[in-house]
Amino acid sequence: MKAQRLKLEPLTAEAFSPYGDVIQRKGVIPEIINTGRTQKYADLARIDTNGGGTSIHLYRSQAAILPFLIERMERHPLGSQSFVPLHRGPFPVIVAPPGDSPDIQAIRGFISNGEQGVSFHKGVWHHSQISLDGVCDYLVIDRKGPEANCQDWVLERRLFIDGV
């Protein structure tokens, strides 16, 4: 099986819009609250729980060693999922459009600037968070409910990230 290299492109709101929202302060005018002590950057991402509840998790991820093999993708058919890094380092974001399975030809890779998070639209195929600089923590916002909301897919072709 021939391996393919995935080129990472800068994570921008425009380029990422088919897959979800980029969570960032850049370009947002904050509201001043709490007697002037706090800047509130509101409505940075759409959270879609499709009638389920909302849950917030902390994920601690081990660093990936490059080159990193992308073997699987997952999707959440019933609601969105968000990754907000609690570290300041860039991290890759790997996505593919919604569908019955991830289209290997349509997989795209983005690299955050270290201050951005992402919120995947319902049904978008994505890789789990990939940390590059040691152990990294992420705040994850997800749908909760009695229905299964995570589908996993093993890719039929090897895909590598070999540098950022």
pLDDT tens digits along 50-80: 999 999 999 999 999 999 999 999 999 999 9
User: Would you identify the CATH topology of the domain 4-161?
Assistant: Jelly Rolls (2.60.120)
Phi, psi of 151 (to 5 degrees): -120, 135
The two tokens of residue 90 are 């860039």
Q: Are 121 and 143 within 8 A, CB to CB?
A: no
- Where along the chain do its domains lie? 4-161
Reported pTM: 0.93
Q: What is the pLDDT of residues 96-126, one digit of tens each?
A: 999 999 999 999 999 999 999 999 999 999 9
**108: Cβ contacts below 8 Å, ≥ 6 apart:** 6, 9, 19, 94, 95, 96
Query: How many C-beta atoms surround the C-beta of residue 98 within 10 A?
Result: 16
